[in-house]
Structure 1
């Protein structure tokens, strides 16, 4: 019967099993140990090994001054408080980075294959300091000796997402006088969107760029992308340094080395001269400007390509390249202005632009213009900065297709080629289209020593008289071409001081042509003829020639030959033009060739200054003629007219010289 009884199942046997007293004690001890371990376990026991591992990997001391904790589950969350990483030995700042708290979400299963996959890293108040060394050791972000071969094997760790809360990034480059203090905060995704590995960070900061204070704001790609130095890092930034503003959108490759980038750059400011402390480019003073182009850098070569915009009231476009590989930056540019406002060139001469109602100028230039307006002097006296002329080399070609010059409407276009090397500047050529002709110049300035040594050769060719006098009604129907040569050599650091010390020659002349008879009669003060032409109709008279020849010595121009010869009148002159005090002292002697009563044969005096010239008869001579007329009139009234009766003794001047063309 017992043999036929059914066998018991394993579960039934387990229920019938009763542990011995000894086994119960062991089992209870194991359970108690597990409970105690669970209650007493402290993850801080692992701080020491973790700190030693991180310190060995970076070559820097790494410490966790707060608690280390781990939450186990489908995702393991490791958190640590008050972390710090020591700086490079050469830095004067002890810490490279600190964080109030760091949380890392880790996928557990890759750990079985000895791989670390960090699903997300959250950093609360991280503070990172990046510095470049002054002795060429590189940056403090280079760990170890920086000379080990890169590990080409697939990394055994991966970080998928990075989130920054109230972060701070400081960057210092002492050799470039650059320091940045930037706040960073990850931008929250829009409603319904998940956090993205590439979530951008909002950026705001201040500091100095090459010694100039500036402010910065915008967005940048996730700092996680900085780990890949070969992948372009995208930014959208708006920076201001004083009145200079730059808006950049594009990519940087290895941004902390700042060697390769491709940015759309909008640049604006009150004066191009302000870029000197920011970029080291010694540009001349200018009115307010606004430019837009593509800024690229590849190592030592910077390029601002396809830019266009305005400088003052002039349009400007072209390409600029700066090579910083040499002892001095090499600035190369091809520039084009379809319409150039002439007064925007004033900065090249050390003068401010015009500041009228329709003119563009910054406050400093307006103040300078007001000062110059109150000054009795006309020539620009602002000194050139020799340090800037020696700060870089340059090769610039600038063409202007049309020039707007209301006060000088005869100026038509410009072609200028500027070469600057080793402190020696050459404008060759500096050509202006003027009144249907050309003013061609070659100017050399040697700024290697003070004062600047300047030589100028100017050729005037084919200027048309009616275009020179286009705004004068009396010039209608005039004809003739003006030419000549000017050679000057002076020393000084401004236009005014260069001319004040100048030596050389000035010669201008005109061959045959025509001009208003009224002008000639007024020059001879022929009252009767002038009234006749004013009341009836003016006519044109032939010009045989006109010329002015001056020798220049120590800033004083002294006439050697001065004449204007027409069929009606010959005017001969003499005198000086003082480039030091800007004064005029010329005596013109009109000699009418026709017979006319009421003709006053008094010389005409040109005096005053460049800024306020005067043109008047010699009143002493007029007084004498008047006395003679009064005496004769007391005898016989008709005879009184004899004193003003002009017999026309003027002789034709010799017009066969170099100016008769």
Structure 2
């Protein structure tokens, strides 16, 4: 009994091993048949399936005349197709996107098993490719709704031949329309020679590349391209990381154009109109990121060098750059049309001191970055007191900050911070600047009339799309003080309304100077209207104070300055000093003396007659503005308050 029970499992064991062996052999047999089938698959049967799959993938009808293979059995067959056409998307209109007489592709079968289409040999004969992009940026060669990660697959092509093929490009966003033959062969490599128009001017586009015959597809691939037009002449020469790997390359570039905006039509970086450009540089492209290893050249009269990196992170553009200009003219940042528009505005509203620089950041909603800049010499057509400029510009989600901003002047400097906050509502401009080291004689340009050390503090905020508009609604303060200087005695007498002293010193000693203890112009701004709190001056012979306003909308000045003499005045000037006009063209009326350094005898007689008439009670016309003459002026307290 026991012997029979132990013998049964021993008998069953060989039976299970036989069954398991049979299953394994069967699976191997099926796999062998599948491999044989793959190696000898009749690809002609797949024509309809390929048409349907390609049509669905491209979103346009695809038609294939025939599909054949070059051998009965191969795991890397050469698949040939004839009479292929891919229709344009509906938004383009009638016509074909791609049309091929014949094409052959060597396809590794096992790569297809894993969902990868990686041909290593391609031959095209008799083709026409029509690339189209509309003004909004929609392109027939991009699949909508599936943005690229910028990396893509590495190149696998070791052999490529293209003959009798025409390339057509109609790019409305760039304003570029070209057409010409495209060829790739073992002797000449890649060649494209196309002609057409760019921004409605004649253009020629030439591109060359190395041969693609028996090469290592991952080896560096040389290329060059030239776009030649009156609107832009641009060259690029370098190498790709692999054959036709446009996502990874480095190149030396040059560009000449009447305006930077024309170059932007090609590189699409959001640049603006300028004076003519002449640029050279070295760039690298790595996936979605760009590296400007070197950039330099000229924009109008401006000369600069720099470098930058541009990264794409979570749908945002991150820019880090350093720029240095040996000389810079702000007028170079506008093209001929911009200058014409500015001239038209000036003709309509008159010249302005505050620039109409745009601070609306709505188009930079997805751009962040930091730009460190330095200008060694500032140029201006009519001259400028500014000499150099430097700072660090930071942009973060439409909050633009210029930190460590420093502008040196003929004497002294202006330093501080500027901000533009456009995270919500209209752009809000904030200015916090301090002036130090200036001299009054250099600022006014009359060293023989007045001198002194100048300091100041500007603290303003306002909203608007431009600097001019924001400051026309500004709140805050704008203060300037001058101390430790001198002023011409005649001017001090006029300030103190001492007519007898003014006449004596104007005729007898017009160059005599007296101490300037302080000049304080401390303006408080409310909705763009600046009111002095206070406006005062203390000289060695007089004390004065002012009233009135400066309206930033139009830059209109309406100030009156009245004073009293520290010595006894035999005859007082009837009227105070009037300051009017605009910031760009102020006017000063000094009791009828005008603005001349040495008034005429006629003017003196007019002032004398009017003042004498007022003193005798014969002049009944009251002054336009009455300001009680100050008994004294507290320089120390007023200076401290203005500079807070």
TM-score (normalised: structure 2): 0.68
SS in 2 for 1:480: strand
Q: Does 1:506 align with 2:486?
A: no
Corresponding position of 2:639: 659
Corresponding position of 1:359: none
Q: CA deviation at 1:263?
A: 1.2
Q: CA deviation at 1:439?
A: 0.8
**In structure 1, distance between residues paired with 2:47 and 2:320:** 49
1:372 to 327, 340, 345: 345
Distance 1:164 1:150, change over 3 A: closer
Corresponding position of 1:236: 224
User: Are the aligned partners of 1:163 and 1:186 in contact in 2 as well (CA < 8 Å)?
Assistant: yes
Corresponding position of 2:448: 474
Q: CA deviation at 1:396?
A: 0.6
Identify which range, 234-243 or 301-310, moves more after superposition: 234-243
**In structure 1, distance between residues paired with 2:478 and 2:196:** 56
2:575 to 602, 606, 628: 602
Distance 1:324 1:448, change over 3 A: same
Question: Any residues of structure 2 matched to 1:384-403 within 5 Å, and which?
Answer: 384-403=359-378
2:250 to 251, 254, 262: 262
2:433 to 452, 455, 458: 458
Identify which range, 328-337 or 561-570, moves more after superposition: 561-570
Q: CA deviation at 1:127?
A: 4.7
| CA shift digits 1:182-225 (9 cap, x unpaired) | 422559xxxxxxx952445242156999xx99955123125746
Distance 1:418 1:214, change over 3 A: farther
Corresponding position of 1:614: 587
User: Are the aligned partners of 1:200 and 1:220 in contact in 2 as well (CA < 8 Å)?
Assistant: yes
Distance 1:219 1:285, change over 3 A: closer
1:184 to 172, 181, 199: 181
User: Are the aligned partners of 1:248 and 1:264 in contact in 2 as well (CA < 8 Å)?
Assistant: yes
Corresponding position of 1:85: 84
Distance 1:406 1:589, change over 3 A: farther
SS in 2 for 1:584: strand
Structure 2, gaps ≥5 residues long: 1-41, 55-61, 67-79, 105-120, 132-139, 594-603, 619-628
2:551 to 578, 588, 613: 578
**In structure 2, distance between residues paired with 1:214 and 1:252:** 29
**In structure 2, distance between residues paired with 1:405 and 1:370:** 16
| CA shift digits 1:422-443 (9 cap, x unpaired) | 1111111221112332211212
**In structure 2, distance between residues paired with 1:258 and 1:214:** 26
Structure 1, gaps ≥5 residues long: 1-48, 66-79, 104-118, 188-194, 353-361, 636-648
User: Are the aligned partners of 1:440 and 1:458 in contact in 2 as well (CA < 8 Å)?
Assistant: yes
Question: Any residues of structure 2 matched to 1:268-307 within 5 Å, and which?
Answer: 268-272=256-260, 279-283=267-271, 286-307=274-295
Count of equivalent residues: 532
Q: CA deviation at 1:503?
A: 1.0
User: Are the aligned partners of 2:86 and 2:97 in contact in 1 as well (CA < 8 Å)?
Assistant: yes
Q: CA deviation at 1:498?
A: 0.9
Distance 1:215 1:329, change over 3 A: farther
User: Are the aligned partners of 1:197 and 1:222 in contact in 2 as well (CA < 8 Å)?
Assistant: no
Distance 1:394 1:230, change over 3 A: same
**In structure 2, distance between residues paired with 1:233 and 1:369:** 48
User: Are the aligned partners of 1:229 and 1:253 in contact in 2 as well (CA < 8 Å)?
Assistant: no
Q: CA deviation at 1:277?
A: 6.2
1:558 to 513, 519, 531: 531
TM-score (normalised: structure 1): 0.66
SS in 1 for 2:639: coil
2:142 to 132, 135, 152: 132
**In structure 2, distance between residues paired with 1:545 and 1:522:** 17
**In structure 2, distance between residues paired with 1:625 and 1:529:** 14
SS in 1 for 2:337: helix
SS in 2 for 1:375: helix
**In structure 2, distance between residues paired with 1:380 and 1:239:** 36
**In structure 1, distance between residues paired with 2:384 and 2:554:** 28
**In structure 2, distance between residues paired with 1:658 and 1:257:** 69
Corresponding position of 2:23: none
User: Are the aligned partners of 1:132 and 1:172 in contact in 2 as well (CA < 8 Å)?
Assistant: no
Q: CA RMSD in A?
A: 5.1
Question: Any residues of structure 2 matched to 1:520-559 within 5 Å, and which?
Answer: 520=492, 526-533=502-509, 538-559=511-532
Question: Any residues of structure 2 matched to 1:37-52 within 5 Å, and which?
Answer: none
Q: CA deviation at 1:264?
A: 1.1
